[in-house]
Amino acid sequence: MKTKLFIIWLIVSVVMVGCNHDILELKPLDEYSDAAVWSDLHLAEAVLNGCYKYRDDPFNKFSIGNLVDELERRDGVAQTRFNNCQITPDVIPGWSYLPTWNNEYKAIRAVNIFLEKAKSLPDGEEVNGVTMKNRMLGEAYFLRAHYYRNLVNLFGGVPIIKESYDLESEFQVPRNSYEDCVEFIVEDCEKAADLLPLEHSGDNMGRATKGAALALKSRVLLYAASDLYNTTVFPGYANPELIGYVGGDREARWRRAKTAAKDVMDLNIYSLYKANPEPGDSIAANFEEYFLKRESTEEDILMEYRTTTSYRDANRSWQNLSGPNGYHLRGSNAPLDNLVRDYEMRDGTKFDWNNPEHAAHPYKNRDPRFYATIFYEGAKWRQRASGEYPLDPVGQIQVGRWEKWDPVANEMYEHWGLDTRKGPYSPFEGAYTGYYIRKWMDSEVDAQFFIPDISYRWIRYAEILLNYAEACIELGEDAEARIYINMIRKRAGMPDITESGDELRERYRNERRIELAVERHRFFDVRRWVIGPEVYTASYRVDVVYKLLPDKTTATEPTVTPVLHKDYSWDNKAYFLPVMRSEMNKNSELIQNPGYE
């Protein structure tokens, strides 16, 4: 019986195959053919969308602040090693905070495939003044420039790969010079700017625009004119062309950087958010509000819109990772006092722990941006959960301890705040520094259970004004520089600066540090300004205590004392990352960066 059934099945199968000569050419039901993708604009757009995914998760990569004098990682063994320059071609401590050689080249290959294939696409309809095909090509050039910029910032000159590699490609490729890489990135930015619209609408919001391409060009040329790439930092290195310029006119580079920033300004579509505060405004609230905006504002040049589904779970949101442990958050990335002490007094003078008045009340009368960026002892935030509410009905940050008198035991005891490492709730997740980050923390969301949908501002107009001012300073155009620095300070409620020369440069650098705090700039600024030995010396925290008074009562005002947290040491090799040994082994044409041989 089984034999007869098999014969019948075999005959039917043969007949079916005979009736359908194309049965082996049927299209798979779960994928599209290459020809189908590159003849359909919307399928091609899905491929382009995949090219965006290689961008760093911004709310994870803010942790790059742990690798400079901004933040302290609670479990920061890797951070400590990196900040002591224990970096080798085999191990880059804290590598997950940084773009990697492998990921960026994966991204570049994906973009190169798109650029090669998209030439066959139809133009499509015109939206916001450009055809769909041109818009997508512009985005691809922008993304390639972005990924190469990441590589060049960390490694110097890298191999410029303009086509997608396959198994038949030649993989032994040398590094291009730093100058070649800069010019290649600038060229891609210019191609992108020529193809992209000024603004997007509808579902295209968040894609690269003409302004984003020009702003990226501004950042690249500002870095290229900076000290690291134009002075002799490694006098014995045999291949200086890989890590900087070996000739040419540096003044011309600064002029080019100035022009690039001005090109963005001359688009006349961007301005500072709430640039002219009203007399009754809370300036700190304005600044805090800006970073919590879900929608684009007049200051935003490139945004990434986030939703509650942008994270795998609530435990991966920036707010959950970095918020105070007394709110059942994880306290992983906490500001150092190194950053806090650089916020000026409200009158524009420097804060100084050696000034008795400042030390007695360190959190009074500071730059309003301080209150929008940092959680400190006594800062008001959101109501506590029901279990902690009786211990803090006001909703204030508690990073200190109270010395109290026990009349029964006739001795002093210490009561620790809710947000400390000796508090009653999740003490193991408390920060060490005496501070928590406030930037991007939404008081309307209980991030223990819910995910904030805060958008990330990849590029904002304040950076462009600072780029322009820096180029002016380096060209000796101090009066022009002060105009744009003071625009930013006016929005911040701070008095104008009046300095010139070296003093202006120092004021500018501090202004950039504060305005762009924890926005992934400081790590690179320290390097391009060649100030590693000044910055990587030590990290500081604060000790906060409400002292027991002689009458056995407890002080109502805390005593705050800066304390050495960790010693750091600097090695000039850390101005660049090493090319990993695994990459060197795959490509014998690669040359290692100085200090890592």
Tokens read off for 338: 């190194």
Q: Distance between CA atoms of 541 and 421, rounded to whole angstroms?
A: 14
DSSP 229-297: GTS-S-TT-S-GGGTS-SSS-HHHHHHHHHHHHHHHHTT-----TT-S--TT--HHHHHHHHHH-SS--
Q: Distance between CA atoms of 242 and 312, rounded to whole angstroms?
A: 40
Is residue 421 within 8 Å of residue 358, measured between CB atoms? Answer: no
Q: Distance between CA atoms of 181 and 217, rounded to whole angstroms?
A: 12
Task: Check residue 310 and report its DSSP letter.
Answer: S
Task: Check residue 122 and report its DSSP letter.
Answer: -
pLDDT of residue 58: 67
Task: Check residue 565 and report its DSSP letter.
Answer: E
pLDDT of residue 59: 63
HSE, CB side, 13 Å, CA atoms: give it for residue 243: 29
Give every CB contact of residue 463 below 8 A, 6+ residues apart in sequence.
215, 219, 516, 521
Q: Which of 363, 373, 357 shows the shortest CA–CA distance to 341?
A: 363
Length of the chain, in residues: 597
Q: Which structural domains are found in the chain, ordered by start?
A: 34-56+99-269 (1.25.40.390)
pLDDT of residue 413: 97
Tokens read off for 285: 């609230």
- Single-letter residue type at 197: P
Is residue 517 within 8 Å of residue 439, measured between CB atoms? Answer: yes
Is residue 327 within 8 Å of residue 448, measured between CB atoms? Answer: yes
pLDDT of residue 32: 62
Count Cβ atoms below 10 Å from residue 434 Cβ, excluding itself. 28
Q: Which of 189, 181, 160, 190 shows the shortest CA–CA distance to 224?
A: 181
Three-class HEC string of 49-76 = HHHHCCCCCHHHHHHHHHHCCCEEECCC
pLDDT of residue 455: 87
**φ, ψ for residue 168 (rounded to 5)?**
-95, 0
Q: How open is the CA angle 225-228-233, to the nearest 5 degrees?
A: 140
Is residue 133 within 8 Å of residue 122, measured between CB atoms? Answer: yes
Q: Which of 266, 275, 590, 270 shows the shortest CA–CA distance to 457?
A: 270
pLDDT of residue 306: 78
CA dihedral 48, 53, 59, 62 (to 10 degrees): -90
Give every CB contact of residue 4 below 8 A, 6+ residues apart in sequence.
none
Give every CB contact of residue 91 below 8 A, 6+ residues apart in sequence.
none
Is residue 163 within 8 Å of residue 111, measured between CB atoms? Answer: no
Q: Distance between CA atoms of 286 and 276, rounded to whole angstroms?
A: 11
Q: Which of 371, 382, 373 shows the shortest CA–CA distance to 335?
A: 373
CA 507 to chain centre: 23
Q: Which of 159, 100, 215 shows the shortest CA–CA distance to 462?
A: 215
Count Cβ atoms below 10 Å from residue 343 Cβ, excluding itself. 22
Is residue 135 within 8 Å of residue 197, measured between CB atoms? Answer: yes
Three-state DSSP class for residue 457: strand
Q: Distance between CA atoms of 308 and 363, rounded to whole angstroms?
A: 34
Is residue 141 within 8 Å of residue 192, measured between CB atoms? Answer: yes
Name residue 437's beta-bridge partners: 374
Q: Distance between CA atoms of 121 and 34, rounded to whole angstroms?
A: 12
Q: How open is the CA angle 376-381-383, to the nearest 5 degrees?
A: 135
Three-state DSSP class for residue 22: coil
Q: How open is the CA angle 348-350-352, to the nearest 5 degrees?
A: 145
Is residue 488 within 8 Å of residue 465, measured between CB atoms? Answer: yes
Q: Which residue has the tokens 């190169």?
A: 112
Q: Render the burial of 239-248: b for 16+ CB within 10 Å, e for the rest.
A: bbbbbbbeee
DSSP 3-state helix, strand, coil percentages of the chain (rounded to 5)? 45, 10, 45
Instruction: Encode the chain (597 residues) as per-residue pLDDT tens digits.
Output: 434 433 333 333 433 344 444 444 445 534 567 788 899 999 999 999 999 999 887 666 568 999 999 999 988 899 999 999 999 999 999 888 899 999 999 999 999 999 999 989 999 999 999 999 999 999 999 999 999 999 999 999 999 999 988 878 888 999 999 999 999 999 999 999 999 999 999 999 999 999 999 999 999 999 999 999 999 999 999 999 999 999 999 999 999 999 999 999 999 999 999 999 988 889 999 999 999 999 999 999 999 987 766 554 445 688 888 999 999 999 999 999 999 999 999 999 999 999 999 999 999 999 999 999 999 999 999 999 988 999 999 999 999 999 999 999 999 999 999 999 999 989 999 999 999 999 999 999 888 888 888 888 999 999 999 999 999 999 999 999 999 999 999 999 999 999 999 999 999 999 999 999 999 999 999 999 999 999 999 999 999 999 999 999 999 999 999 999 999 999 999 999 999 999 999 999 999 999 997
Q: Which of 563, 557, 568 shows the shortest CA–CA distance to 542?
A: 563
